Amino acid sequence: MADDALFEFLHMEIVAHVYKEQATREDIDKERVTCVSTLELMGFRVGQGLIERRFTKDCPTFKEDLDIMKFLCKDLWSTIFRKQIDNLRTNHQGTYVLQDNKFALLTQFSTGKQYLEEAPKYLAFSCGLIRGALSNLGLESVVTAEVSLMPSCKFQVVIQKL
Amino acid sequence: MADDALFEFLHMEIVAHVYKEQATREDIDKERVTCVSTLELMGFRVGQGLIERRFTKDCPTFKEDLDIMKFLCKDLWSTIFRKQIDNLRTNHQGTYVLQDNKFALLTQFSTGKQYLEEAPKYLAFSCGLIRGALSNLGLESVVTAEVSLMPSCKFQVVIQKL
């Protein structure tokens, strides 16, 4: 189905555009940081939007943070990436590790270590997406991602207690 | 469903980003043209990608240009914008007018004439998408769009005979 690929293609275009745009500027030193945060912020707003849109329709109640994380790993992940998170772990102190063994935005790369350096480009948007979604579910967080072997990916979410 | 909105939100972010990025540069005179063509080119590549992806799976044969246009108005439009084109007209000389009475990327604006000036920003990507899809179906074209009353929209496709 064409629509399955629509998000992936559009995401590739955005990453390429943001990096190309920055490369033509003078401040090349700051390049990497700026691009990552630009993409992260776009993801954040999209994540917020998705939660807002969804919860104007039906509003589940979550008892605790873990329920919110489960919702994110199952429902939200499926609607965005067409599969659930494969493994969710927590230290029960506000840190969660979400492992996706076949992350949709990395499947277009060849597996192995060849393109590991490129991976962060393609994770920034999704880190923001998680942070934005959680934010609109009442949890402020810091989200980072790590790839050790394509196309599997670990997202670490640290909830910021107020 | 969250995924329905994913494309729309991401599209809004891209438009905002491309315009914001350009506005911070010196060459503000060229601003509008550059932004529109940037978005158009992104759409073109996404349109190409969608057709490539789809036709690696099953490959219909089209007898004539009109069949290709019908495929675009029904199948492709539905998978991207969740509805078909409402009206397709042609002069049988290579010009086609596709009318969408409720174009998905314009539904977030209030109806009427208030935001008409803003509309071209939100049509460039889709013009490119049509052009890219047609290109990979063997038709080179020029695609323009016109809005007279939100959220309805007319795309004009002029096939370039070689």
pLDDT tier for residue B1 given thresholds of 50, 70 and 90: very low
Question: Helices (DSSP H) in chain B: which residue ranges?
Answer: 2-23, 31-55, 65-71, 77-81, 124-136
Average pLDDT over residues B104-131: 88
Min mean pLDDT across A2-11, A139-148, B103-112 is at A2-11
B60 to chain A, closest Cα gap in Å: 14
Strand residues in chain A grouped as ranges (E): 87-90, 95-100, 141-146, 153-159
Distance CA A48, CA A43 (A): 9
Q: Is the peptide bond before B151 cis (omega within 30 degrees of 0)?
A: yes
Cβ proximity of B77 and B83 under 8 Å: yes
* B50·A2 Cβ contact <8 A: yes
Q: Is B30 in the A-facing interface, judged by CB distances under 8 Å?
A: no
Q: Do A38 and B49 touch (CB under 8 A)?
A: no
pLDDT in tens, A21-45: 777 766 555 556 688 899 999 999 9
A65 pLDDT more than 90: yes
Question: Which of B7, B13, B20, B108 is the best residue to mutate to test the A interface, defined by the most A CB atoms within 10 Å of its own CB?
Answer: B13
Collect all residues of chain B within an 8 Å Cβ-Cβ radius of residue A45: 9, 13
Q: List, for residues B50-67, the tens digit of each pLDDT value.
A: 998 876 666 677 889 999
A54 part of contact set with chain B, CB < 8 Å:
yes
CB under 8 Å to B31, separation ≥6 — which residues? B19, B22, B23, B25
Question: What is the least distance, in Å, from the CA of A2 to any CA of chain B?
Answer: 6
The per-residue b/e assignment along B82-102, b for 16 or more CB within 10 angstroms, e otherwise, is eeebeebeeeeeeebebbbee
* Integer Cα distance of B70 and A21 in angstroms: 37
Contact between B27 and B112 (Cβ < 8 Å): no
pLDDT digits (tens, 9 = 90+) for A94-125: 999 999 999 999 988 887 778 888 888 899 99
Among candidates B98, B102, B78, B80, which has minimal Cα distance to B89? B98
Q: Does A45 touch chain B (CB under 8 A)?
A: yes
B21 contacts on A by Cβ (under 8 Å) = 21
